[in-house]
Structure 1
Amino acid sequence: MTPPKHVWSGDWEAESEAEARRRAEAEAERQTRESQAAEAPTAVGRTIAPGSPADPYARPEGAPPRRGRVAALAIVAILIIGGGAFAAGLLLDGDDDSKSSTTPVAALPSVGSKPVTPSRGQTRAGAIYAAASPAVVSIRTSTGTGTGFLIDKQGTVVTNDHVVETSKDVQVKFGTDGRTIQGEVKGVDPSSDLAVVHIDASTIPGGVKPLEFADSRGVSVGDVAIAIGNPFGLDRTVTEGIVSSLGRTLKAPNGFQIDDVIQTDAAINPGNSGGPLLDDGGKVIGVNSQIATNGVTSGNVGIGFAVPSNTVRQVVPGLKQGKTVSHAWLGVQIDTSGASAPNATSGAVIGSVETGGPAESAGLQAGDVVKSVDGQEVRDSTGLSTYINSRAPGDKIKLKVERSGQTQDLDVTLENRPEQVPSQAGTQTTP
Structure 2
Amino acid sequence: MRDRFSRVATVILIALLAALVGQPYIDRLLFAATSPRAVAARSYLAESERATINLFERVSPSVVQVVGSAAGSGPTDFEGEQPREQSGTGMIWDAAGHVVTNNHVVNGTAHVAVRLASGDVVPGTIVGTAPNYDLAVVRLQNPRRLPAPITVGSSADLKVGQAAFVIGNPFGLDQSLSTGVISALKRRLPTGSGREIGNVVQTDAAVNPGNSGGPLLDSAGRLIGVTTAIISPSGSNAGIGFAIPVDTVNRVVPELIKYGRVPTPGIGIVAANEAVATRLGIEGVIIVRALPGSPAAKSGLRGIDQAAGEIGDVIVSANGQPTRRLSDLTDQLEAVGVGQEIELSIRRNNRSSTVRVRVQDISQPS
Instruction: Work out whether residues 217 and 223 of structure 2, in 8 Å CA contact, stay in contact via their aligned partners in 1.
Output: yes
Instruction: Work out whether residues 340 and 351 of structure 1, in 8 Å CA contact, stay in contact via their aligned partners in 2.
Output: no
1:412 and 2:357 equivalent?
yes
Q: Please, what TM-score do these two structures have when normalized by structure 1?
A: 0.63
Give the partner amino acid of 2:244. V
Gaps of 5+ in 1: 1-117, 420-431
2:130 alignment partner in structure 1: 189
1:380 and 2:324 equivalent?
yes
Q: Please, what TM-score do these two structures have when normalized by structure 2?
A: 0.73
Q: Which has the higher contact order (CA 8 A, sep 6+)?
A: 1
Task: State the distance in 2 between where 1:182 and 1:119 align.
Answer: 41
Kindly state the Cα deviation for residue 210 of structure 1 after the two structures are TM-superposed: 1.8
Task: State the distance in 1 between where 2:166 and 2:48 align.
Answer: 21
Give the partner amino acid of 2:205. A
Aligned residues: 295
Task: State the distance in 1 between where 2:348 and 2:60 align.
Answer: 55
Deviates more, 1:159-168 or 1:220-229: 159-168
Instruction: Work out whether residues 353 and 359 of structure 1, in 8 Å CA contact, stay in contact via their aligned partners in 2.
Output: no
- Secondary structure class of the residue paired with 2:274: coil
Task: State the distance in 2 between where 1:327 and 1:141 align.
Answer: 26
1:256 and 2:195 equivalent?
yes
1:305 and 2:250 equivalent?
no
Identity %: 34
2:54 alignment partner in structure 1: 127
Q: Deviations over 1:388-429 (max 9, x none)?
A: 11122332223111233221233322221237xxxxxxxxxx
Map 1:275-424 → 2, pairs under 5 A? 275-294=214-233, 297-330=234-267, 331-333=269-271, 335-337=273-275, 339=277, 342-344=280-282, 346=283, 348-350=284-286, 352-353=288-289, 355-356=291-292, 357-361=294-298, 362-366=300-304, 367=311, 368-374=313-319, 376-378=320-322, 380-381=324-325, 382-418=327-363
Give the partner amino acid of 1:134. P
Map 1:2-401 → 2, pairs under 5 A? 122-142=49-69, 143-167=85-109, 169-175=111-117, 177-200=118-141, 202-204=143-145, 208-294=147-233, 297-330=234-267, 331-333=269-271, 335-337=273-275, 339=277, 342-344=280-282, 346=283, 348-350=284-286, 352-353=288-289, 355-356=291-292, 357-361=294-298, 362-366=300-304, 367=311, 368-374=313-319, 376-378=320-322, 380-381=324-325, 382-401=327-346
- Secondary structure class of the residue paired with 2:198: strand
Structure holding more helix per residue: 2
Q: Deviations over 1:294-350 (max 9, x none)?
A: 3xx111211111111111111111222343221211334354336467344x5x232
Instruction: Work out whether residues 153 and 201 of structure 1, in 8 Å CA contact, stay in contact via their aligned partners in 2.
Output: no
The structure-2 alpha-carbon separation of the partners of 1:353 and 1:222, relative to structure 1 and needing over 3 Å to count, comes to farther
Kindly state the Cα deviation for residue 260 of structure 1 after the two structures are TM-superposed: 1.4
Task: State the distance in 2 between where 1:278 and 1:201 align.
Answer: 28
Task: State the distance in 1 between where 2:183 and 2:142 align.
Answer: 37
Task: State the distance in 1 between where 2:290 and 2:279 align.
Answer: 18
Give the partner amino acid of 2:185. L
Task: State the distance in 2 between where 1:364 and 1:244 align.
Answer: 42
Task: State the distance in 2 between where 1:402 and 1:120 align.
Answer: 59
Kindly state the Cα deviation for residue 140 of structure 1 after the two structures are TM-superposed: 0.6
Instruction: Work out whether residues 341 and 369 of structure 1, in 8 Å CA contact, stay in contact via their aligned partners in 2.
Output: no
